[in-house]
Every structure is written in structure tokens, then in C-alpha cells.
Structure 1
Amino acid sequence: MKASGLVALFGDGAGALIVGVGFELVSAAQTVRPNSDSNADGHASGLVFRPSFKLPETVRDNAKECLVEGVGPHVLGGGWNDLFWAVHPGGRKILGSVEEGLALALGKLHASRRVLSQYGNMSGASIIFVLDELRRHDDMPQGGLGVMPGISIETMLLRAAAA
């Protein structure tokens, strides 16, 4: 896909975080999936992203393993549906792949879907918008996960701070 076509896939947004009492970081991990190095190249002039049509399949097939590696010791029994979710809204197929790969209940990714619908995929800033959506609109139980699909899968276990 040419760079001009990629512009149509991405929204525009910027994100910044102010550290406060909303979330407590319990753990964080990054997993680079094998054979995903053809999706992006770094050059002196910048990052070149080449989306792969296999990306949703890669996310679906690796989501559970990455989460177990990254936050498994903190989530007893893999109770993924007992958590609130902040997933990077890389696209409808990506979100569907996360739901399928983890057998998530309907509505678990509602904040991610809302951000995707309202703003599109804003690349790295998207997850900040999702976290803000959760903070502003949802009653969050203890625990949480943020997943950045693509070249790598980032996992964070967050605990909602007591109000």
C-alpha cells in the first residue's frame, strides 16, 4: 500500500498523560512476535509502516500467549472477562481478533470501539484516548490490560485506584 493510501487509514490525534490517581501500574511487558518484521522499517527519515492483511490473524493467534507471558502471574486462572480492557483500536478486525483469541464477552472492548468510531486509528496516541474513555465513562473493577497490536504486543496490568 502506498503512503498516500495509508493516510486514509489513520486518524489524527495527540496524547499526553498526567500522572494521577486513576490507575496503578502492576506490571508491563513487551512481546515481539516472530515473522512480524516485514510490517515496518525504521529509517533516518522516519518509520515506514506496511500494514499486513495477516495482522488480525497474528493478533488472534498470539494474544493469549502474550498476555500469559506478560501479566499471567497477576491474573489467576486467566479470568480475562473479569477485567476491564484498554485495547489499541487498530481497526475493527484487530479488535475482533482480540475478542476471538481471548473469548471475551460482548462489550468488553466498548471503549476501544468507541474511540475507533469517533477518531479512527491515531497510531500510538489511540491507547491514551481509550484509557481516557475508560476513565471518564466506565466504572472500572480492579485490574486491566492494554494491548498494542502490530509489530509487538504490549501488555500492562493496571489496577483502578480506590476512589
Structure 2
Amino acid sequence: MGVQLIGIGTAVPEFALSQTQVRDLFLAQPDVAPLTARIIRAAYDGSAIDRRHTVIDDLAGGDGIFIDAEHGAVRSPGTAARNERYAREAPRLSETAARRALRSAGVEPSEITHVVTASCTGFYAPGPEYRLVRDLALDPTVEREHIGFMGCAAAIPALRSAWRICTADPTATVLVACAEVCSIHIRSSPDPDQIVASAVFADGAAAAVVTAREARFDGGEGAGPSPDRPSWALELTGFTTALTTDGEQDMAWIIGDHGFEMTLTGNVPRIVGREVQAALAPVLERVGTVDQWVVHPGGRSILDRFEQAMQLDEGALQRSRRILRDYGNMSSATVLFILADLLRDPTAAHDERVLVTAFGPGLAVETATARVVPRRSADAAVASRERQAPGAGS
């Protein structure tokens, strides 16, 4: 059956903030110059984001290390304090998403043979891949790897690792998990790049189960499509990577004394618009027509430029725009949220070709291709095995 992504689970923190709430918080900061206020309004009001989730309860109301409630001011805690919040909250989100992915895939924790994690918003060791093995009570011999600091594009290299593992070992079942808590690096700044970053990034986690083994989803009551049991699976068919000719200074992510400092300049959408056609040309030559576009929503302008450059019909990026609207940019987890939406869509069709692409620091363009395949019930899987058994049909 090839290597398939057979289930996805997602998770977000309990605190949800409207975009206007966050905008007004930054507009109310002391000594905001008129020019800075105009940039804040433009960034937030033009973001095409309605709400985002955060692990920072201070932002939802109250006093803490991030917000001075008495004065309504955004504090600037040090990197250690921010990273401590990451080490506490990211594993919780990752575990929740992973358990939902296993349930969606109809896979028991004992069946997982490999774990691949990705994150760029914090550090701790033993790392995220270790924590998942421990928190899910997986077999301690499960092989682990972690992909760090590859930014928004990291889910695709993580899926590529899973695909290669399953191609080399058809008995493998790989759990892929991406968890990001971007909001812990929030700061008040007159720098336009920092304002844009504060306007788009959010917190969330997503996990996927990848395997080449015979899928055997539970039959009977409750086996139809639902948030836990989506309509479709994806057969992964290939991966590519490319670097644009510039952009190294336009999308960057460095460690500062007061958190990680994200650079996301206004040149990024222009670079995407100028270079994405050439970057994706080898992929399109291989797959031909694309039926489903899954494009990482780094921001509204990036989606607009991508749509124009690829000459896509209006609505081709509706899934990406919907996830951006409802969740913001959750860095590496975001494309898995979009894929989860696709797998739940009863209007998708068998054999539709899917192109997944995301942009990371550098500027790097990471791409995966897949085709939509139906999920099979336990009875169908058994029948398939019986047909393939020696002497079947004689």
C-alpha cells in the first residue's frame, strides 16, 4: 500500500485571544510613537487572523512574568524564564496531540517503533522525543530523533524522516510530533519585524502516524468519519527541498537575552512570489496536476504572493487561509493542522494529488507530495489480506 499517513491529532492551549485584544494590548503600551501605532494597526488588522491560542495565562487576564496587570504593560522576562514555560507547556501539548493522532489512526502506543519530533521555540534535554516515549509509555527501545530550529518548515523534514524509515523498514510505525509555543517570545518593540512576528505567531501542536503496514481501522459503530476518525489517509509519494537565492537575513530565528528574536521582513512574501515557481518546478514536473494545495500560512501576504505566482484559482488555498484565520501561524505544527482538515473533508476524492509546501529560515522551501486514499475498515483489511494469501480464490 506504500507509506501512508493514517492519522493526525492536534492540540492548542486553553487560552484563546482575539486579534483585536492583542492589538489593543500593544497599542496601550507606554511611549508608543504614532508611527509605531500605525504599524501595529496595519500588521494586526491586515493579518487575516481572527484569533490565536497561547500558553501565557497572563495575556488572558491577570498578572505574571509576561504582563504587568496593574499598568497593562508587556514585561520582558529573560530567556531562561521563557524557556522554563516552554519546557512545561510544550510536552503537554505534544502528548495531547500524539494521543489524538494514535486514536485517529487506530494504532496502539505499543505499536509505535519510531518517534520523530520537531520544534524551534525552546530547548530541554532529555528532549521532546524522549518525553513522548515516557509520557505515552512507549516501549523504551523505540528509536527517537528530534529536528530542531528548522522553523515553520520542520514538519515536512519530520515526515520525510518517517517516510524514509518506513521505506527502509515496512514493519515500522512512526509517530511524528511538532509542538510550538511561539507566544513565550512575545515582546513590545517599535521594530516592524518584531511587530509582524507578534501579530502572526501562535501556539499549538500536531502529531501524525506514518506507516507502511496494513491499516486496520476499527469497524462497527463509530467507524465512520469524525474528528477522531477522518474520511481519508494520505499515501506519501515524495519530498524535495530547495533554497532561494536570497532571504537568509529576511527570515531568521536567533536566541537573545530576552527570548528568541524572530526576523520576518516584508521581503519574505516578495521572495516567495519571485522564486517559488522555480523551486516547485521539479515537483510539478513529477506529479503533474495538483488537486489539493496545502501551503504553510506564514502570513496572509505569503499566501497572496504564492497564489499569484502559481496562478492558482481563487479558493485553492482556502484550507490554509482558514487555519490562519482560526489559529494563526503555529510554526511547524501548522501544515499538519491543514492536512487534518483535508483528511476530514468528505468532498475530497480518491487519488487526488496533494502538494504540501512550507517556508523556513534561509529561505528554505520544503515540499511533500501525496495522494488521497480511502481509510479501510478492519473487515476490508482482513478481506484484502485473505485475497493476497497463497491459494486465495482457487
User: TM-score scaled by structure 1?
Assistant: 0.84
Q: Distance in 2 between matches of 1:132 and 1:98?
A: 21
Quote how far apart the aligned CAs of 1:101 are: 0.4
> Which residue identity does 2:366 align to in structure 1?
E
* Larger RCO (alpha carbons 8 Å, 6+ apart): 1
Is 2:348 aligned against 1:139? yes
| Candidates 30, 37, 45, aligned match of 2:241 | 30
| Candidates 263, 274, 292, aligned match of 1:50 | 263
> Which residue identity does 1:55 align to in structure 2?
V
User: TM-score scaled by structure 2?
Assistant: 0.37
Structure label with greater radius of gyration? 2
Tell me the secondary structure at the aligned position of residue 108 of structure 1. coil
Q: How does 1:83-162 map to 2 (within 5 A)?
A: 83-137=291-345, 138-140=347-349, 141-150=351-360, 151-162=363-374
RMSD: 2.5
Q: Distance in 2 between matches of 1:49 and 1:129?
A: 22
- Identity over aligned pairs, percent: 31
Distance 1:161 1:44, change over 3 A: farther
Q: Deviations over 1:86-129 (max 9, x none)?
A: 10011111111111000001111111011001001111111110
Tell me the secondary structure at the aligned position of residue 14 of structure 1. strand
Quote how far apart the aligned CAs of 1:48 are: 3.9
Tell me the secondary structure at the aligned position of residue 139 of structure 1. coil
Tell me the secondary structure at the aligned position of residue 149 of structure 1. strand
Residue matched to 2:106 = none
Q: Distance in 2 between matches of 1:47 and 1:31?
A: 25
Residue matched to 1:17 = 208
Is 2:278 aligned against 1:65? yes
- The ranges of structure 1 where at least 4 consecutive aligned residues each deviate by more than 6 angstroms after the TM superposition are none
Q: Deviations over 1:8-61 (max 9, x none)?
A: 321211111122661111110111112211121555988642001011111111
The structure carrying a bigger helix percent of its residues is 1
Query: Number of residue pairs matched?
Result: 158
Tell me the secondary structure at the aligned position of residue 103 of structure 1. coil
Extract unaligned runs of 5+ from structure 1.
none
Q: Distance in 2 between matches of 1:133 and 1:97?
A: 23
Distance 1:44 1:54, change over 3 A: closer
Tell me the secondary structure at the aligned position of residue 359 of structure 2. coil
Residue matched to 2:225 = none
Q: Distance in 1 between matches of 2:325 and 2:261?
A: 25
Tell me the secondary structure at the aligned position of residue 96 of structure 1. helix
Tell me the secondary structure at the aligned position of residue 55 of structure 1. helix
